[in-house]
Amino acid sequence: SVEKGSFKGSEDERVRRLILAIEIGAKFVDLGFQTSAKLKNLVCAACKKTGARLIISKHFWNKTPALNQLKIFVKKAKTQGAEIVKVATTVKQWSDNVVLFELTRWAVSEGISVIVVGMGEKGKISRLGCPILGSFLTYVALDNRSKTASGQLILSDLTFLKNLLE
C-alpha cells in the first residue's frame, strides 16, 4: 500500500512492529486510514495501555480535495480512534493552500488535533502556515538529501525564518 512507506512485509507484520514500538516507549504512532478496523483496534488498545497517541493519516496524492471532503475524512478518522488526524494533499494551485488553512482553522475550532501538510513545491507555504494556525506539527528534513516529500522544508529553512522573526 502507498500509505505504509517502504515497508515490504505483510500488513499484520507492520502493525505488530508498530505495537512493539508502542510497548517499548513510542509516544506517537501513525497508522494509515486504509488499515483494517481489526488492526486499528489492536493499535488503539496498545496506545491506551501506554498513553501513546494514535495518528490516523491519509495522503491525497492526486489533488487537494474540497474542504467539505477533508472535513468528512477528519471526522471519520476521529471516530476510528485517532487522537491526531494527519491530512497530506498534493497542492497543484496556490488556492489549494487556502483549503488547507481553512481545514486547520476549522479543526482547531472543533477541538480536533490535526497535522495538515501540502505536498509539492506550491505546498511549501502550508508547511509554515498550518502550524501557525494550530496544526500539531510540520515535517522537516535535516538536509535536501533526506527529504521524504516534494516541497518538504529543510532545517536551515526554519532556522532562517526563526532568525527573521526574532
Q: Which residues are catalytic?
A: 59, 86
Residue 138 near residue 149 (C-beta atoms within 8 A)? no
**Torsional sign, CA 147, 148, 152, 155:** negative
Q: How far is Cα 144 from Cα 125, in angstroms, rounded to an integer?
A: 17
DSSP code of 82? -
Residue 138 near residue 153 (C-beta atoms within 8 A)? yes
What grid cell was written down for 130? Answer: 498550518
